[in-house]
């Protein structure tokens, strides 16, 4: 088994610290936009058990509806990018587990997007 790569930069010359900082910023962005798109906007629009009231709320607040959807899209893009960044950060430790982590991150995002359709 080869020894893990302990260098502080990848093949393109980008430092692991830079990847870590970008990852941290994307996690914060994902938290903020996810909270808005998945918690705040739906709580203001959806009336449990009353589809007509929900439709009225959406028609009365089209900007909130669109902003909630846009926030979810920003979160989804961040999640896909985070899967790549976690792969790049974890690759020096164990390439196979890093690849599994990236794959599961993408699968989780796709599964959640599919569930949001319904």
- Which residues, listed in sequence order, are joined to residue 9 by a DSSP beta bridge? 15
CB of 49 within 8 A of CB of 80? no
pTM equals 0.79
- CA 18 – CA 15 distance, rounded (Å): 5
pLDDT tens by residue, 23-32: 999 999 999 9
Q: Minimum mean pLDDT among 8-12, 31-35, 81-85: which range?
A: 8-12
Whole-number Cα distances in Å, 21 to 29, 31, 86, 106: 12, 16, 12, 21
Tally of CA atoms within 13 A in the half-sphere of 32 that contains its CB: 6
Confidence band (pLDDT; 50, 70, 90) for 10?
Answer: low
Of 6 and 109, which is predicted with more confidence? 109
Is residue 87 over pLDDT 70? yes
Question: What DSSP character marks residue 13?
Answer: S
- pLDDT of the residue at 116: 80
pLDDT at 12: 63
Q: Which residues pair with 15 in a beta bridge?
A: 9
CA 33 to chain centre: 9
Q: What gap in Å lies between CA 43 and CA 20, rounded to an integer?
A: 33
Alpha-carbon distance values, 92 to 16, 49, 71, 87, 89 (Å): 10, 50, 33, 9, 7
Above 80 in pLDDT, residue 82? Answer: yes
The one-character DSSP state at 18 is H
Give the tens place of pLDDT for each residue, 47-69: 999 999 999 999 999 999 999 99
């Amino acid at each position: 088994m080869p020894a893990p790569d302990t260098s502080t930069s990848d093949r393109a010359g980008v430092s692991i610290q830079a990847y870590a900082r970008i990852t941290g910023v994307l996690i914060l962005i994902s938290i903020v936009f996810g909270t808005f798109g998945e918690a705040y906007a739906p709580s203001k629009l959806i009336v449990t058990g009353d589809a007509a009231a929900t439709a009225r709320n959406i028609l009365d607040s089209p900007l909130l509806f669109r902003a909630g959807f846009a926030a979810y899209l920003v979160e989804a893009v961040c999640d896909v990018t985070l899967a790549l960044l976690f792969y790049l950060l974890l690759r020096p430790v164990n390439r196979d587990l890093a690849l599994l982590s990236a794959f599961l991150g993408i699968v989780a995002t796709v599964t959640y997007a599919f569930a949001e359709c319904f």
